[in-house]
Chain A
Amino acid sequence: MTVDDFLKGEFPSLRFSHYQVTSPPTKQYNCIAWAAGQNNKWWWPIRGYWPGQGRRDESPKTFVEAFARYGYSPCDSEALELGYEKVAIYVGSNGIVTHMSRQLPDGRWTSKLGEGVDIAHTLEGICGERYGEVAKILKRANKNSPS
């Protein structure tokens, strides 16, 4: 079984969209850390590293509050906007956060898949049974963009 078979077996929507593996598997960090641009800790509000002293449950509100510390605020569109960085929050059928992705400069999204690899993918490419659907998009001004 190849990595491709493995990933498409776990995330069937990848069969219908392009994706690219961009790093090897590691437990050093997870999708939440990766969405925040970090790669040295496992971020999770319960039993993991969590920034700040705010609420610590698995609701989307907790993640919105945590990312607000880094300048992110809710927005309506996942479309690429020049001068802005975006992250997406995925929730399962029970409304609990399961995953986060970060938008790349070319409009694709990047995700750390659990303990596995990072991939560049479309936003819907990892929707499905395991990660659920996109519930929220957050954005902040790109720190590198001229203001």
Chain B
Amino acid sequence: MTTTYSNRFLHNREIAPLPTWQRAPIVPLLASGQSSPSLSDLSVRLADKERAMLESYSVTRSFRLPAKMEFCRLAAEWKQETYWDSSVTQKILHPSYQQIIGMGPIAVGWILQALRHDADFWFDALTAITGEQPVLIEHAGDIQAMANDWLEWGRLNGYDS
């Protein structure tokens, strides 16, 4: 008697048919005599365009926010973590505030924009970046007046918008 996978009987005993995956033939991954390819082999085979795309992907995996978004993120973090501090020193030494100073001149316009929206302790950051100190001595401690002094400086130096 010829035995086939679809038979339900073997030696006169009923058996379940074999699962379908056991019925498929085994196919070798590589043809006989062929060795597996190395990475360098693969890279050699990539077209220039494909290699450029792969390199571009590698760069974007170390993702950084655009500068303005990074400023907003740092500013929000600074505000959240120093909100309860009376100490101006604690505010200006906060790491996020220091990182904003580290952004340099590009941050000046954004800081002035933030000041226009809400007077805040940005004065030391502006002084650190620009080297300027337009705040009048008699305005010390008056946050709005200090902000106005800096906004006037901004207006005179082309930071109107």
Contacts and interface: CB of A to CB of B under 8 A. Distances in A.
A32 B83 CA distance: 15
A108 interface: no
Contact of B88 (A10, A33, A40, A46): A46
Contacts of B85: 98, 114, 130
A10 B87 CA distance: 16
Given A27-B119, A44-B89, A47-B88, A114 B83 contact: yes
Interface of B: 82-89, 92, 119-120, 123-124, 140-144
Interface of A: 10, 27-28, 30-33, 40-44, 46-50, 58, 96-100, 112-116, 130
B120 A27 contact: yes
Contacts of A113: 84
A58 B89 contact: yes
A53 to B, nearest CB: 13
B84 A114 contact: yes
Of the candidates A49, A112, A115, the one having the most CB atoms from chain B within 10 angstroms of its own CB is A115
Given A27-B143, A41-B142, 17 more contacts: A32-B86, A41-B140, A41-B141, A43-B141, A44-B89, A46-B89, A48-B88, A49-B140, A50-B140, A99-B86, A100-B86, A112-B86, A114-B82, A114-B83, A114-B85, A116-B83, A130-B84
A77 to B, nearest CB: 25
A48 B140 contact: yes
A85 B92 CA distance: 33
Contacts of B123: 47
Nearest to B84: A114
5 contacts: A41-B142, A42-B88, A100-B86, A114-B83, A130-B85
Contacts of B92: 47
Contacts of B86: 30-32, 42, 44, 98-100, 112, 114
A42 B123 CA distance: 13
A10 B92 CA distance: 20
Contacts of B88: 42, 44, 46-48
A35 to B, nearest CB: 10
A44 B142 contact: no
Contact of A40 (B83, B140, B142): B142
Given A47-B92, A47-B124, A48-B88, A115 B83 contact: yes
A42 to B, nearest CB: 5
A99 B89 CA distance: 13
B81 to A, nearest CB: 10
B141 A48 contact: yes
